């Protein structure tokens, strides 16, 4: 039988530690990205349902036009915030 010497055990231990560190980092990043995706989806659904409810209740055509005009601005600002979050996660990784 081969006896495991310290010369062989050290590199194995170092590689195992490096693998565990990278695994933790990867899982942490995936978890943060999943949370970001859930929050972005939740915000989009809540904003969309609120806007749709306002359109259904609205009786003033001017307010409806203003609401429809503001929707793309809100969507683009939400998309920009989402991309900033993704860039932050990528930078931390």
Q: Residue ranges of the domains in the chain?
A: 28-92
Whole-number percent of the chain with pLDDT over 90 = 52
| pLDDT value for 65 | 78
Residue 10, pLDDT above cutoff 80: yes
Q: 59 phi and psi, to 5 degrees?
A: -115, -10
| pLDDT value for 6 | 76
To which H or E segment does residue 6 belong?
helix 6-57
Predicted TM-score of the model (pTM): 0.73
CA distances from 77 to 4, 17, 31, 35, 74 (A): 59, 41, 23, 19, 5
Which is higher by pLDDT, 32 or 63?
32
């Amino acid at each position: 039988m081969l006896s495991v010497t310290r010369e062989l055990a050290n590199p194995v231990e170092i590689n195992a530690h490096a693998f565990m560190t990278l695994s933790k980092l990867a899982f942490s990043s995936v978890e943060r990205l999943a949370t970001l995706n859930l929050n972005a989806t939740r915000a989009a659904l809540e904003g969309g349902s609120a806007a749709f409810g306002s359109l259904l209740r609205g009786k003033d055509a001017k307010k409806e036009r203003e609401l429809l005009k503001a929707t793309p601005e809100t969507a683009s600002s939400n998309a920009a915030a989402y991309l900033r979050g993704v860039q932050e996660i990528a930078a931390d990784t």
